Amino acid sequence: MARHLINAMVNGDRVEFVCGTGQTLLDVLRGELHLTGTKNGCGTGDCGACTVVLNGRPINACLVLGAEVDGSEIETIEGMAQGGELHPLQQKFLDHAALQCGICTPGILKMAQAYLETNPDPTETEVRFALAGNLCRCTGYDKIVRAVLDAAAEMRASET
Amino acid sequence: MNEIKTPRGGSNYQWVGKNTPRPDGVDKVTGRARYGDDMIVPGMLHGKILRSPHAHAKILSIDTSKAEALDGVKAVVTSADIPDHPMAQPPYPPIVNDFHDISRNVMAREKVLYDGHAVAAVAAISEEIARDAIKLIKVEYKVLQHILDPREAAQPDAVVLHEDLFTYGVEPKPTKPSNIFRVMHGERGDLNAGFAEADLVIEREFSSQPVHQGYIEPMACIATTSEDGAVELWTSTQGHFVQRTLLSKLLNMEMAKIRVTASEIGGGFGGKTTVYAEPLAIRLSQKTGRPVRMTMTRSEVFRATGPTVGSKTRIKVGMKKDGTITAGEAEIWYQAGAFKGSPIGRAVDTFFSPYTVANCKAAAYDVCVNRPKVAAYRAPGATMACYPMESVVNELAKELGLDPVEVRLKNAVKEGDESLMGTKHGRIGLVEVLEAVKEHPHYKAPLGDNEGRGFAVGYWLHGGGLSSAAVNLMDDGTLGVATGNPDIGGSRSSMRAMAAEELGVNVELLKPIIADTGSLGFSYLTAGSRTTYATGMAVVNATREVIDKLRALAAKKWDIPVEDVRWDAGQAIATDNYKDIKPLSLKELAGMATSMGGPVAGHSEINASGQGATFCAQLVDVEIDPDTGFTSTKRHTVFQDAGRAISPDYVEGQMQGGAVQGIGWALNEEYIYDDEARLQNTGFLDYRMPVASDVPMIDTVIIEVPNPNHPYGVRGVGEPPLVSAPAAVANAVENAIGQTMSDLPLSPPKILAALHAQAAGDD
Amino acid sequence: MTDRHAGSGLESRGTKTLQDMNYEAPTSVEAAVAALAAADDEAHIFAGGTDLLVQLREEMIRPSLFVDIKRIIETRTITVDDTHVRIGAAVTGAELSEHDAAKALLPGVVEAVELIGSAQVQGRATVGGNLCNASPAADSVPALIAAGAFAQIAGPNGLRVVAVEDLLAGPSRTNLSGNEFVVSLDIPKPTTRSADAYLRFIPRTEMDIAVVGAGAAVTLDADGTCTAARLALGAVAPTARLVPAAATAMIGKKIDDTVLASVAAAARDACNPIDDKRGTVAFRIHVAGVLAIRAVKIAIERAEAK
């Protein structure tokens, strides 16, 4: 059986795991590293629930092989709150009631975080297109978009 | 823009009606919350289901030997491992839980009845081995003719799914089996006289396709069993108590031996109200002596779990020049899927219910076809009936030159009126909802080129029923609030707000939890928009019991009669007769409880009735590209009577989410089968749910006409937005292109074909 | 984000078990060719994986080996010289999108690649993968054909060069042999007053596969007469196809509404679509004409702006 020994940085921690060729990064994060905050909604890159940041880019963990990530840096939802403080996006999602069931929330937060790094002052339309790869079936997106815009404003204010 | 209108004056509540931090919020934004597939148990095996590639076939043989021989495979189960049950017999309740059917739905027995029907399941030491193993199971099928359309399946010569199914409720009793399980009727007045009175009668046929709830979390569970017969089940469900009942009856096990814990649930919308993989996981666990986790793929979710019904409708409505609806007649055929049990009663009740139509008749047929057995979807059975009626009312108003909202006001039901299925309305808010629409700037806002505006109103009688709650006071004055209803959309916030309001203490002192089936009395599903209403009532009762005990404790402490102690703003206060007695706070009383008689807790088990009807109206603007038929939603406002919005943010969230599900249903979502009745769009790519860039902000107007039967006036809010949303979108399309479109979804090819037909007709 | 033809995932083409599957990541073109040569015919080139991993998940393939080409420098580089823009086969949509020179020279190609999937998919999906997955609806392909792209193909006998329109054999089929793979795509650098554009129709605003796609490239002379043109369509035939009749209708003329009507007619004549879950024959044929006109107009505007 083909097995691969992989070293990677996950949320700043050096981790080592063994995976089969068929195991995706999502399988590895959830099944091997027990980081179950990254969710599995479809396994085909269509829902965004498994969004993590791989070497600086948001990607669907279900569309990456575990075997590929040797030497990579990965950031997941578990690393988003730092030092006991929620990230502004996390706080704004709570303030705006931008989640109902919450299953899409970790993926949307990671996507929004990565997006705001490239575009700190987006329009509503830009936020909607940036989040088009993250399905939410509960909220109708309204409060999510508001939360992201509000978080962006707060993050800009704290930069200056 | 979101607003709240409280016609009966505002409230002086401290917590009810306020937005408070959500108790489960931090866990859900940090990835800590544990859903169905997030539980990892030492030694667990991975289960996987083999599914039928055929829509209708006899199972000739199943050979599992090669799968069982594969290294790492620990067990295989087939229908032989699931107990059989006799068919349920009449008289039938409105919703029939027939274990004869459930047994066959979780695992095909004599026949497979739809693409994706489970035929065998394996448990193995890894997911990869389980996936390899199911490919080694050999099933011999004899393929039979299939049938997908409910009207065709209702014909006397149609191929029959169940040789033992005879139509119920018709005389004489049929001697031939049929795909029609039963027909439900409602009738009042004199139809002929009603149509004769009308100045204009429109008769049309409509259809809608099955749509899936589209929850983002696939079904997932983990079963642990013990040699002494005990079962522990962790599962993503809208009702773990209902799961326990179903599993106990299906698997012939004592209820007390089955303990079900509801995981956090990643969306349900009615879809997670029955059992699918859970009995198989239990059987695999029993065979192996190890925990077994089963998680469906998205493709399995689409192929094998219940979408909602598809429908065919014939409807005829008559209206006078002044807008009075004089008569209505409707017939609707619902696709139950492979087994009987579509929500036909709701169809009969929905067609004419917003209106005081003196003469009307509705009939609904529950028809089996070779599709997955339907499950509930947010106002099950109502949306497909609202769409034809609201389309025809729209058309009648247009033809008679009447304002669409005024027409609805003219016919609006009020307190004392009765629905076709016999619900006599108490205080209801339809008129208030319609008045709010008229006052809203959206109603008169100008439209651009190729744009259209649609309006529709929908009726829904939300649920009540069995609920339990317990409130436990701790030594330090904090409290636990336990209910048996999984929290899908923020119900923990509402439960906590009502308990805090009763107690007069800060919400932060209360910690709501969802208790497992061993820890609380029976609680029916989180479904039917019933949780804040019914379970909320149980929470209020349980909290009041705590308050009574605290009053008694204070009375004991002060040595005065309990009648002389009242509870206000978080304190026990002696009546004015005892001017020297200083009030005792909740915290002080909590500290002395243990030494003065024991722990303080309250509990309540109720069968909640008195639920009131809810009405939800929607205004939608769309723009249509005349060259491609592409429809974009430009503006959408939802108006709903919430009775009382306990947590306004989450009420708005229900309205916005339901509206967007309705946009998807109206425009793009549908089950698409090929000629072999194999589902073609088994993923989110081609099952086109709205994405963030498809929709605008969804404005909400909450109207509060309190329900007198609930301590805080609550009406169920979750389902009503989906009743009228597709109809409102369809009416907007009609307004934009000048044609009533009769077949949901209104996808671009259909709109473009309609535009081309119109152009050809104009030439 | 793949174009799944077998929705139910019934027929697995491969015979391997998941446990047997292997993965290699060679660092040179030669090593990749050698890895393919040593493997059986169920080895797959693995670039972004956004189609392959879906096909694996949906039981449509059971590969014996994935040969990951992302560690080969030639597949990962974008270069612009005097005559060509060269895009490595494993360059992702996000990387291409961030390449200002490529975006300025070939806005149509870059926009087409940017349309593939979500932002997350853009971080992985590659130009070469979109081409070699050979979906009739692949967004980048009509744009590449319109822009006159050639594929640089590595194999046991060295490199060969094939026009993109000649690489495609049918749905999910290319003319590559089992031991070959696409290393990069060479696109002639547009001259002055020359530009391209790509448009597609989907029922939503994002996250769909093209129901129709249209790529156009035009060159204008100083007075606005069209001197060269290419139009290509996607999702209306078993492969993306070049529409020479549309070019004939444009070349030598100033492109007015009459010429555009001829372009639309030529586009519709070139269609040989199917009814499927994404659209009907009639819809696809009509919209092919609509998008052909719209894409040509954008290309003209861009050419005129140069």
β-pairing, B2-5 with B631-641?
Answer: unpaired
Confidence of residue A79 (pLDDT cuts 50, 70, 90): very high
Determine whether the interchain pair A132/C21 forms a contact, defined as Cβ–Cβ distance below 8 Å: no
Confidence of residue B421 (pLDDT cuts 50, 70, 90): confident
Determine whether the interchain pair C205/A132 forms a contact, defined as Cβ–Cβ distance below 8 Å: yes
**Residue showing tokens 């399980």:** B181
Whether residues C84 and C177 fall in one domain: yes
Whether residues C113 and C180 fall in one domain: yes
Taking the C-alpha atoms of residue B359 and residue B352, their distance in angstroms, rounded to an integer, is 10
Question: Domain range spanning residue C30?
Answer: 19-65
- Is B456 a residue whose pLDDT tops 80? yes
Shortest distance between the Cα of B380 and any Cα of chain A, in A, equals 17
Task: Decide if C244 is inside a domain.
Answer: yes
Compute the count of residue pairs across chains A and C with CB atoms less than 8 Å apart. 100
Taking the C-alpha atoms of residue C32 and residue C288, their distance in angstroms, rounded to an integer, is 39
Q: E-assigned strands of B253-291?
A: 258-262
Q: At what angle do helices C281-305 and C107-114 cross, to 10 degrees?
A: 140
B683-705 pLDDT, tens digit per residue, is 999 999 999 999 999 999 999 99
Summarize the confidence of residues B661-687 as an average pLDDT.
Answer: 97
Q: Tell me which DSSP letter residue B368 carries.
A: E
Determine whether the interchain pair B752/C206 forms a contact, defined as Cβ–Cβ distance below 8 Å: no
B445-455 pLDDT, tens digit per residue, is 999 999 999 99
Task: Decide if C112 is inside a domain.
Answer: yes
Compute the count of residue pairs across chains A and B with CB atoms less than 8 Å apart. 183
Q: Which of B452, B337, B353 is nearest to B412 (CA)?
A: B353
* CB interface of C with A, residues 169-198, below 8 Å: none
Q: What is the DSSP string of B10-44?
A: ----SSTTS----TTHHHHHHT-S-BGGG---TT-
pLDDT of residue B217: 98
Which CATH number is C268's domain given? 3.30.390.50
Task: Report the domain count for chain C.
Answer: 3
**Is residue A139 less than 8 Å (CB to CB) from chain B?**
yes
A52, A79, A106 - which closes a domain: A79
**Is residue C203 less than 8 Å (CB to CB) from chain B?**
yes
**CA within 13 Å, CB half, B185:** 6
Q: Tell me which DSSP letter residue B56 carries.
A: S
Confidence of residue B6 (pLDDT cuts 50, 70, 90): low
β-pairing, B138-143 with B292-295?
Answer: unpaired
A27, A55, A79 - which closes a domain: A79
Pick the residue with more confidence: B90 or C74?
C74
Whether residues A121 and A59 fall in one domain: no
Which CATH number is C149's domain given? 3.30.465.10
Q: Which of B28, B293, B487, B638 best probes binding to A when mutated, by most A CB atoms within 10 angstroms?
A: B28
Taking the C-alpha atoms of residue A80 and residue A10, their distance in angstroms, rounded to an integer, is 12
CB A13 within 8 A of CB A71: no
CB B349 within 8 A of CB B186: yes
How many other β-carbons are positioned within 10 Å of the β-carbon of residue B636? 29
Number of H helices, E strands in chain C: 12, 14
Q: Which of C134, C142, C126 is nearest to C173 (CA)?
A: C134
Summarize the confidence of residues C198-203 as an average pLDDT.
Answer: 98
C132-179 pLDDT, tens digit per residue, is 999 999 999 999 999 999 999 999 999 999 999 999 999 999 999 989
CB B267 within 8 A of CB B684: no
Taking the C-alpha atoms of residue B652 and residue B649, their distance in angstroms, rounded to an integer, is 5
B685 closest CB neighbour out of C1, C59, C283: C1
- Is C13 a residue whose pLDDT tops 60? no
Q: Tell me which DSSP letter residue B396 carries.
A: H
Q: Which of B220, B218, B222, B228 is nearest to B43 (CA)?
A: B222
**Containing H/E element for B586?**
helix B586-593
Task: Report the domain count for chain A.
Answer: 2
CB A114 within 8 A of CB A58: yes
Compute the count of residue pairs across chains B and C with CB atoms less than 8 Å apart. 97
CB B687 within 8 A of CB A47: no
CB B447 within 8 A of CB B624: no
Shortest distance between the Cα of C219 and any Cα of chain B, in A, equals 27
* CB interface of C with B, residues 38-77, below 8 Å: 57-59
Whether residues A44 and A19 fall in one domain: yes
Task: Decide if C145 is inside a domain.
Answer: yes
Taking the C-alpha atoms of residue B335 and residue B180, their distance in angstroms, rounded to an integer, is 10
Determine whether the interchain pair C280/B683 forms a contact, defined as Cβ–Cβ distance below 8 Å: no
Summarize the confidence of residues A55-77 as an average pLDDT.
Answer: 98
Sort out which chain A residues have CB atoms less than 8 A from B692's CB and list them.
127-129, 131-132, 134, 136, 141, 144-145
CA angle B686, B688, B694 (to 5 degrees): 140
Taking the C-alpha atoms of residue B519 and residue B471, their distance in angstroms, rounded to an integer, is 12
The amino acid sitting at B271 is G
CB B500 within 8 A of CB B509: yes
Shortest distance between the Cα of B128 and any Cα of chain A, in A, equals 8
Question: Domain range spanning residue A98?
Answer: 88-159
How many other β-carbons are positioned within 10 Å of the β-carbon of residue C252? 12
What percent of chain C has pLDDT above 70?
A: 95
Sort out which chain C residues have CB atoms less than 8 A from B746's CB and list them.
none
A44 closest CB neighbour out of B29, B650, B685: B685
Whether residues C199 and C299 fall in one domain: yes
- Is C11 a residue whose pLDDT tops 50? no
Determine whether the interchain pair C276/B629 forms a contact, defined as Cβ–Cβ distance below 8 Å: no
**Containing H/E element for B580?**
none
Whether residues A14 and A75 fall in one domain: yes
CATH of domain B465-606: 3.30.365.10
Read off the tokens for B490. 């923020």
Determine whether the interchain pair B217/A101 forms a contact, defined as Cβ–Cβ distance below 8 Å: yes
CB B433 within 8 A of CB B615: yes
pLDDT of residue C37: 95
Taking the C-alpha atoms of residue B535 and residue B712, their distance in angstroms, rounded to an integer, is 13
Task: Decide if C4 is inside a domain.
Answer: no
pLDDT of residue B91: 87
CB B641 within 8 A of CB B716: no
Q: Which chains touch C (3 or more CB pairs under 8 A)?
A: A, B
Task: Report the mean per-residue pLDDT for chain C.
Answer: 94
The yes or no reply on domain B57-144+219-295 and CATH 1.10.1060.10 is no
**Residue showing tokens 């080139």:** C45
Sort out which chain B residues have CB atoms less than 8 A from A149's CB and list them.
none
Determine whether the interchain pair C203/B667 forms a contact, defined as Cβ–Cβ distance below 8 Å: yes
B483-514 pLDDT, tens digit per residue, is 999 999 899 999 999 999 999 999 999 999 99
Taking the C-alpha atoms of residue C130 and residue C152, their distance in angstroms, rounded to an integer, is 15
B752 closest CB neighbour out of C208, C276, C286: C286
How many other β-carbons are positioned within 10 Å of the β-carbon of residue B114? 29
Taking the C-alpha atoms of residue A49 and residue B214, their distance in angstroms, rounded to an integer, is 13
Task: Report the mean per-residue pLDDT for chain B.
Answer: 96
- Residue B504 CA from chain centroid, whole number: 33
Taking the C-alpha atoms of residue C163 and residue C176, their distance in angstroms, rounded to an integer, is 12
Task: Decide if C34 is inside a domain.
Answer: yes
Number of H helices, E strands in chain A: 5, 5
pLDDT of residue C2: 47
CB B121 within 8 A of CB B73: no
SS (H, E, C) B696-711: CCEEEEEECCCCCCCC
- Is B418 a residue whose pLDDT tops 60? yes
The residues on A that touch C, with CB distances below 8 Å, are 1-2, 4, 20-22, 24, 43-46, 48, 51, 54, 57-60, 62-65, 67-68, 111, 114-115, 129-130, 132-134
- Residue C269 CA from chain centroid, whole number: 22
**Residue showing tokens 């073109």:** C29
**Is residue A81 less than 8 Å (CB to CB) from chain B?**
yes
Dihedral sign from CA coordinates of B132, B138, B143, B146: negative
Q: Which of B456, B452, B457 is nearest to B633 (CA)?
A: B452
Sort out which chain C residues have CB atoms less than 8 A from B694's CB and list them.
204-206
A28, A58, A79 - which closes a domain: A79
Residue B760's SS3 state is helix
pLDDT of residue A131: 98
B287-326 pLDDT, tens digit per residue, is 999 999 999 999 999 999 999 999 999 999 999 999 999 9
Q: Which of B51, B55, B58 is nearest to B115 (CA)?
A: B55
Confidence of residue A1 (pLDDT cuts 50, 70, 90): low
Confidence of residue C59 (pLDDT cuts 50, 70, 90): confident
Which CATH number is A155's domain given? 1.10.150.120
Residue C159 has φ and ψ, to the nearest 5°, of -95, 145
Task: Decide if C213 is inside a domain.
Answer: yes
Determine whether the interchain pair A2/C20 forms a contact, defined as Cβ–Cβ distance below 8 Å: yes
B106-145 pLDDT, tens digit per residue, is 999 999 999 999 999 999 999 999 999 999 999 999 999 9
Whether residues C100 and C80 fall in one domain: yes
Whether residues C127 and C225 fall in one domain: no
Read off the tokens for B33. 């919350």
Determine whether the interchain pair C283/B683 forms a contact, defined as Cβ–Cβ distance below 8 Å: no
What percent of chain B has pLDDT above 70?
A: 99
pLDDT of residue A86: 98
The amino acid sitting at C209 is I
Whether residues A75 and A128 fall in one domain: no
Determine whether the interchain pair C8/B627 forms a contact, defined as Cβ–Cβ distance below 8 Å: no
Whether residues A58 and A108 fall in one domain: no
Residues 6+ apart with CB under 8 A from B15: B496, B497, B498, B500, B501, B507
Q: Which of B181, B526, B206 is nearest to B373 (CA)?
A: B181
Residues 6+ apart with CB under 8 A from B151: B312, B333, B367
Could you tell me what percentage of chain A is helix, strand and coil, using 3-state DSSP and rounding each to the nearest 5? 40, 20, 40
Write down the ipTM of this complex.
Answer: 0.98
- Residue B345 CA from chain centroid, whole number: 15
Task: Decide if C7 is inside a domain.
Answer: no
Shortest distance between the Cα of C141 and any Cα of chain B, in A, equals 20
Confidence of residue B763 (pLDDT cuts 50, 70, 90): low
Read off the tokens for B120. 């065998």
Which CATH number is A43's domain given? 3.10.20.30
C218-270 pLDDT, tens digit per residue, is 999 999 999 999 999 999 999 999 999 999 999 999 999 999 999 999 999 99
Residue B590's SS3 state is helix
Determine whether the interchain pair B679/C7 forms a contact, defined as Cβ–Cβ distance below 8 Å: yes
Determine whether the interchain pair C119/A64 forms a contact, defined as Cβ–Cβ distance below 8 Å: no
Residues 6+ apart with CB under 8 A from B6: B704
Summarize the confidence of residues B66-81 as an average pLDDT.
Answer: 98
Determine whether the interchain pair C23/A60 forms a contact, defined as Cβ–Cβ distance below 8 Å: no
Q: Which chains touch A (3 or more CB pairs under 8 A)?
A: B, C
**Containing H/E element for B452?**
strand B451-461
The amino acid sitting at C232 is A
Determine whether the interchain pair A94/B127 forms a contact, defined as Cβ–Cβ distance below 8 Å: no
Whether residues A54 and A110 fall in one domain: no
Where along chain B do its domains lie? 57-144+219-295, 465-606
What percent of chain C has pLDDT above 90?
A: 90
pLDDT of residue C10: 36
Dihedral sign from CA coordinates of C238, C239, C243, C244: negative
Shortest distance between the Cα of A59 and any Cα of chain B, in A, equals 17
Whether residues A60 and A121 fall in one domain: no
pLDDT of residue C14: 53
Whether residues A114 and A146 fall in one domain: yes
Q: Which chains touch B (3 or more CB pairs under 8 A)?
A: A, C
Q: Which of B226, B715, A43, B663 is nearest to C50 (CA)?
A: A43
